[in-house]
Amino acid sequence: MNQLELLRKFTTIVADTSDIDSICKYKPEDATTNPSLILKAVNLNKNKKFLHQAVEYAKKKGGSKQEKLINATDKILVDLGIEILKYIPGYISSEVDARLSFNQDHCILKANKIIKMYEDQGVSRKRVLIKLAATWECIKAAEELKKDNIFCNLTLLFSFAQARACAESKIFLISPFVGRIYDWYVAQNLISNFSYNEDPGVISVRKIYNFYKKHNYKTIIMGASFRNIQQILLLSGCDRLTIAPILLKELESNNTVFDRKLIPPTTFVNPPMPLSEEEFRWAHNQDEMAVQKLSEGIRNFGKDQILLEEIISKLI
């Protein structure tokens, strides 16, 4: 049994890619996308049809050029999601424009639009997770969306405050970013005599896992953004792990046996009082790494959204 097969016994495997060939090869339960992955996908010749479909859709919808750009990018997001759903049994995570991350109402409107576009093409909302950055505004948007059976994946999660607020708002799923936390500590020269058990990204997810399970929160934890298979194996037993194809390949080619690392408790403790907005913002602000990485992640996803719009603008 290889490590990928063994990992499946403990954890639900999710593919962190928009590449259909990789999804077919590794057979994950779910798949996740983001603006960077969408941009990469549409630049491949085999996916040019999605660009042309989106442009035709936007032209038929009409409106200003900006409205056409928005409709076209939403169409690509949904059409790629529908294509991926043909090859997986579970969820596709489709990400809302990162530039909306500080506007609760706009996130709700965009999520409803995306879900309607899926449903208009025969895909149930039960198979779609709306992906939002884990800002206070997006957490509250996800809380509202859940009332209409629209479930969310809160991404770009770096601080314990973000994780706690998501659990307290009964968010469906969170994606703590292991690798990007690790990157920050390396860049700041804060890791010395490094061992994988001291990886700050791994430690962050372990802390979230233990807190969630101890208090019996139902929010799913999906570790994300891995730099090596050691980070993945140290989180074996996490509810879900979303893994890039290059690391799925490495796991598949390795037969070294490992033990499950994350095991839920058998008894529970009552949870603390929920964080207020003021308490959340202060607690998150105390984590310099989380503040920087959340801001950077939103900016970079926003840049890739703009690059996608520039490609479409030329076609329109």
> Given the structure tokens 């969310």, which residue do they identify?
152
Nearest to 160 by CA among 225, 240, 218, 221: 221
**pLDDT band for position 72 (50/70/90)?**
very high
Kindly tell me if the per-residue pLDDT of 196 is higher than 80.
no
CB–CB of 26/4 below 8 Å?
A: yes
Kindly tell me if the per-residue pLDDT of 194 is higher than 80.
no
**pLDDT band for position 146 (50/70/90)?**
very high
Domains of the chain (ranges; CATH) run 3-315 (3.20.20.70)
- pLDDT tens digits, one per residue of 9-57: 999 999 999 999 999 999 999 999 998 999 999 888 888 999 999 999 9
Q: How far apart are CA 282 and CA 103, in angstroms?
A: 19
For 172-201, what is the mean pLDDT? 90
Q: How far apart are CA 16 and CA 227, in angstroms?
A: 13
| Least reliable range by pLDDT among 79-88, 94-103, 191-200, 302-311 | 191-200
Q: How far apart are CA 234 and CA 307, in angstroms?
A: 36
pLDDT of residue 45: 87
Nearest to 294 by CA among 101, 109, 145: 101
Q: How far apart are CA 95 and CA 43, in angstroms?
A: 18
CB–CB of 31/128 below 8 Å?
A: no
**pLDDT band for position 260 (50/70/90)?**
very high
For 260-265, what is the mean pLDDT? 97
For 225-250, what is the mean pLDDT? 97
Q: What is the CA radius of gyration of the chain?
A: 19
Kindly tell me if the per-residue pLDDT of 192 is higher than 80.
no
**Partners of 44 in beta bridges:** none
Q: What is the pLDDT of the chain when averaged over all its residues?
A: 96
Question: How large a percentage of the chain has pLDDT more than 90?
Answer: 93
| Least reliable range by pLDDT among 48-52, 155-159, 225-229 | 48-52
Q: Is 131 a catalytic residue?
A: yes
**pLDDT band for position 193 (50/70/90)?**
low
**pLDDT band for position 197 (50/70/90)?**
confident
Kindly tell me if the per-residue pLDDT of 195 is higher than 80.
no
- Selecting among 68, 75, 110, 131, the annotated active-site residue is 131
Question: How large a percentage of the chain has pLDDT more than 70?
Answer: 99
CB–CB of 88/124 below 8 Å?
A: no
What SS3 class is residue 234? coil
